Amino acid sequence: MEQKNSNSPVNPNQNTSQKPGGKGNRFNVSWLYGIIIMILLGTYFFGDQVAIKNINSYPAFRQFVEKGYIESIEVYASKNQVQAVVEDSLPSLKAVFGESYKNFEKDRRISVNIPSAEKFEEYISSTGFANVAYKDDRNYFEIFLVSVLPFLLLIAFFVFMSRRMSGQMGGGGAGGIFNVGKSKAQLFDKGNTVNKVTFKDVAGLAGAKQEIEEIVAFLKNPGKYTELGGKIPKGALLVGPPGTGKTLLAKAVAGEADVPFFSMSGSDFVEMFVGVGASRVRDLFRQAKEKAPCIIFIDEIDAVGRARGKNPNMGSNDERENTLNQLLTEMDGFGSNSGVIILAATNRADILDKALLRAGRFDRQIHVDLPDVHERKQIFNVHLRPIKINETVDVNFLAKQTPGFSGADIANVCNEAALIAARKGKSFVEKQDFLDAVDRIIGGLEKKTKIITQTEKKSIAFHEAGHATISWMLEHANPLVKVTIVPRGEALGAAWYLPEERQLTIREHLLDEMCATLGGRAAEEVFLNQVSTGAINDLERVTKRAYAMVAYFGMSEHLPNLSYYDSTGHSDYGFTKPYSEKTAELIDMEAKQIVGEQYERAKAILLQNAEGHARLSALLLEREVIFSEDLEAVFGKRPWASRHDELILQNGEAEEAALAGEMRQQLPDSPAEGNAEEERKNESDDKPDDHGKAEA
């Protein structure tokens, strides 16, 4: 299994932007309102239902009054009701409440309906009963509830909805269906210090940082450049694979230059309404010009910037093209000294419309590559800061174990390692947790519970041992780390390599790797006399490699030095291939021949090392995981120096010493600040900065 990118967008600094008046706040308030309303309603409906006995008969009540059982009376004219308190004496209580008088002893209230308030007044004054109170009991609360509350609720609902809509649209108060044409750009203003990112927060990316520092210089001091008649560049394109920190870099520019920062995604321009994209572009630039000097950042610009089709009737996307045209005009439209600089990020510069890339638009391309081993170390240092590690963790080792990982992947490794350690109940994150995290990210989840028969297990072990044997025997195959027959992700077993980060790949590398990849299937055939479907992934990779060698790299016998690779992206090829049918057949033949040769080679190597392969398989079946030390014990030391060894030879001991020095710094009790300081110094030592001199 080879190291590959899982492009997981995990960067602690990247996505922490918060809109003003964030969601959490509003939710609390609306909960509060809800609770208050519930309490009010509750007290209204259940509040005064304390035991009041209703006397259904008005004559009976008159009897009570006349017999002197009643202490006081309250008249509720609007309800045509009377409430009375019964005298606190046993005979009165018994007479009024009957046998259950004990329940009413505390609150001796009764109520009765009366024909009308006037009639009752007449009657009561005739009896001479004095303790009567007339209550104006028009229930204001009830009136309010019936007449005003519905309107209030309605209004509150509308306010809530419109606020929520504008919240979704980002700041600026734009929102609702009437504002589709407004730009959705999110504005990070100068004063915002909470999410401020500076170059210090960006580890690695030394080259890109240097180029982008120039843009900061333009923004900070435009006069210096314009005085000599130069023009400030309008835009820069950040190009690089996912997760390498393009957004982070753009934020750092804004943070360093201390200017407002408009951020939006290319797909934000597109909406279901026609013409919206173009008007959003216009609105964005209008807003930006008001805030100049400032930065506009458009993420994933390929969503709008893809090359416009040549055939206007077929396969073209009018809406997107209109948006792109508007973007092009806006970039041309304002003077270059207006102080708006546009940064855009993409992972595919080749498919962008050429008009976007010409001088005066995105005239600079800044390549943000996957980090090399040194940069990975710096990135690890950043992400390890919040993690409690112990002395078993060595940053250099981690950096070496993670070729092909992006910054986001490294952040993911650190987080995953912490989670694994926590699951095991450790108080520190250890080296093994990091290794497990790397394995998990490359290979997926371990599935120890998969049910596998002994025969299947044997096939798996033979297959993996085949990979291991051949990659050990071939000079240019990737160095092996370990071989496992523990199911993980989709695979039942895997041979783990540490790909060398070479800059150039020669034919021998390709062939040896293909041979090693075919070793699994070859071992099944040679030693078990059967083949399984399990090799599908191996075969897919080999086939693609073979076709690439023939059609792209010009490395085959009958089609030498011809490449049908198309880097322009104008693949009107889609249907028509750039070569004849005859060539197509030839490509097929050549690819078939290359794969066939390597398969035969793999079988031959396995037959020569049958004994070693058998020992490896047995070891695998016994232990499930074997490491390169075990292979060394079986086959003896590999006689070839790895690329890493070569680099160390080349650079002498200086590098090793430097690495050792930084290792010390990584111990948890050393202050993090000093650590970062040291790092920056090392960086500038490595790469003498000749641009800086010219500017000063």
**Catalytic annotation, residues:** 464
Cβ proximity to ligand NHX: between 64 and 497 the closer is 497
Cβ proximity to Zn ion: between 265 and 617 the closer is 617
Are residues 354 and 307 in contact, defined by beta-carbon separation less than 8 angstroms?
A: yes
**Min. distance of Cβ 297 from Zn ion in angstroms?**
43
Task: Return the number of other C-beta atoms located less than 10 Å from residue 530's C-beta.
Answer: 9
Q: What is the Cα–Cα distance from 43 to 29, expressed in whole angstroms? A: 21
Strands 294-299 and 364-367: unpaired
Binding ligand NHX by CB under 6 A: which of 460, 522, 606, 616?
Answer: 460
The conformation of residue 478, written as its DSSP 8-state character, comes to P
**Min. distance of Cβ 488 from ligand NHX in angstroms?**
9
Q: Does 492 bind ligand NHX (CB under 6 A)?
A: yes
Q: Does 390 bind ligand NHX (CB under 6 A)?
A: no
Sole window of 356-364, 425-433, 493-501, 583-591 interacting with ligand NHX (rule: CB under 6 A): 493-501
Selection from Zn ion, ligand NHX, none that 492 binds (CB < 5 to 8 A by kind) is: ligand NHX
Selection from Zn ion, ligand NHX, none that 536 binds (CB < 5 to 8 A by kind) is: ligand NHX
Q: What is the Cα–Cα distance from 380 to 413, expressed in whole angstroms? A: 9
Q: Does 536 bind ligand NHX (CB under 6 A)?
A: yes
Q: Does 491 bind ligand NHX (CB under 6 A)?
A: yes
Cβ proximity to Zn ion: between 416 and 538 the closer is 538
Q: What is the Cα–Cα distance from 577 to 158, expressed in whole angstroms? A: 58
CA 237 to chain centre: 22
Binding ligand NHX by CB under 6 A: which of 537, 543, 563, 593?
Answer: 537
Residue whose Cβ sits closest to Zn ion:
520
Q: Does 519 bind ligand NHX (CB under 6 A)?
A: no
Cβ proximity to ligand NHX: between 222 and 534 the closer is 534
Are residues 477 and 470 in contact, defined by beta-carbon separation less than 8 angstroms?
A: yes
Of 201, 289, 296, the C-alpha closest to 254 is 296
Cβ proximity to ligand NHX: between 421 and 438 the closer is 438
Binding ligand NHX by CB under 6 A: which of 170, 260, 520, 612?
Answer: 520
Q: Does 463 bind ligand NHX (CB under 6 A)?
A: yes
Selection from ligand NHX, Zn ion, none that 320 binds (CB < 5 to 8 A by kind) is: none
Cα–Cα–Cα angle for 204, 208, 209, rounded to 5 degrees: 70
Q: Does 470 bind ligand NHX (CB under 6 A)?
A: no
Helix H or strand E encompassing 86? strand 81-86
Strands 53-55 and 109-113: parallel
Cβ proximity to ligand NHX: between 339 and 443 the closer is 443
Query: In whole angstroms, how far apart are CA 6 and each of 2, 124, 404, 420?
Result: 12, 90, 10, 19
Q: Does 620 bind ligand NHX (CB under 6 A)?
A: no
Of 438, 404, 479, the C-alpha closest to 645 is 479
Sole window of 142-150, 407-415, 535-543, 593-601 interacting with ligand NHX (rule: CB under 6 A): 535-543
Query: In whole angstroms, how far apart are CA 376 and each of 208, 279, 365, 373, 380?
Result: 15, 42, 23, 5, 6
What are the structure tokens assigned to 219, written together?
């923004």
Selection from ligand NHX, Zn ion, none that 460 binds (CB < 5 to 8 A by kind) is: ligand NHX
**Min. distance of Cβ 535 from Zn ion in angstroms?**
6
Selection from ligand NHX, Zn ion, none that 675 binds (CB < 5 to 8 A by kind) is: none
Are residues 487 and 456 in contact, defined by beta-carbon separation less than 8 angstroms?
A: no
Cβ proximity to ligand NHX: between 107 and 490 the closer is 490
Binding ligand NHX by CB under 6 A: which of 246, 467, 603, 613?
Answer: 467
Sequence-separated (6 or more) residues with CB below 8 Å from residue 499: 2, 3, 403, 404, 478
Binding site for Zn ion (CB under 5 A): 520, 538
Sole window of 51-59, 376-384, 487-495, 685-693 interacting with ligand NHX (rule: CB under 6 A): 487-495
Sheet order of strands, 70-76 included: 53-55, 109-113, 81-86, 70-76, 132-135
Sheet order of strands, 494-497 included: 494-497, 480-484, 625-627
Sole window of 75-83, 388-396, 420-428, 462-470 interacting with ligand NHX (rule: CB under 6 A): 462-470
Selection from ligand NHX, Zn ion, none that 532 binds (CB < 5 to 8 A by kind) is: ligand NHX
**Min. distance of Cβ 337 from Zn ion in angstroms?**
60
Q: Does 532 bind ligand NHX (CB under 6 A)?
A: yes
**Min. distance of Cβ 545 from ligand NHX in angstroms?**
15
**Min. distance of Cβ 534 from ligand NHX in angstroms?**
2
Q: In terms of residues, how long is the chain?
A: 696
Are residues 457 and 493 in contact, defined by beta-carbon separation less than 8 angstroms?
A: no
Q: What is the Cα–Cα distance from 542 to 512, expressed in whole angstroms? A: 11
Q: What is the Cα–Cα distance from 88 to 71, expressed in whole angstroms? A: 8
Selection from Zn ion, ligand NHX, none that 242 binds (CB < 5 to 8 A by kind) is: none
Cβ proximity to Zn ion: between 84 and 522 the closer is 522
Q: Does 516 bind ligand NHX (CB under 6 A)?
A: no
Cβ proximity to Zn ion: between 235 and 493 the closer is 493
Q: Does 235 bind ligand NHX (CB under 6 A)?
A: no
Q: Which positions from 538 to 567 touch ligand NHX by CB under 6 A, shown as an x/- string? A: x-----------------------------
Number of helices and strands (H, E) in the chain?
A: 26, 14
Q: What is the Cα–Cα distance from 54 to 38, expressed in whole angstroms? A: 28
Q: What is the Cα–Cα distance from 414 to 436, expressed in whole angstroms? A: 11
Cβ proximity to ligand NHX: between 265 and 598 the closer is 598
Residue whose Cβ sits closest to ligand NHX:
534
DSSP 505-566: --HHHHHHHHHHHHHHHHHHHHHHS---GGGHHHHHHHHHHHHHHHHTS--SSSSTT-----
Q: What is the Cα–Cα distance from 204 to 239, expressed in whole angstroms? A: 16
Residue 49 buriedness (CB in 10 A; 0-12 / 13-18 / 19+): exposed
Q: What is the Cα–Cα distance from 285 to 289, expressed in whole angstroms? A: 6
Question: Could you tell me how many residues of this chain bind ligand NHX (CB under 6 A)?
Answer: 17
Binding ligand NHX by CB under 6 A: which of 107, 372, 490, 588?
Answer: 490
Cβ proximity to Zn ion: between 37 and 536 the closer is 536
Q: Does 494 bind ligand NHX (CB under 6 A)?
A: yes
Q: Does 36 bind ligand NHX (CB under 6 A)?
A: no
List of residues contacting ligand NHX (CB under 6 A): 460, 463-464, 467, 490-495, 520, 532, 534-538
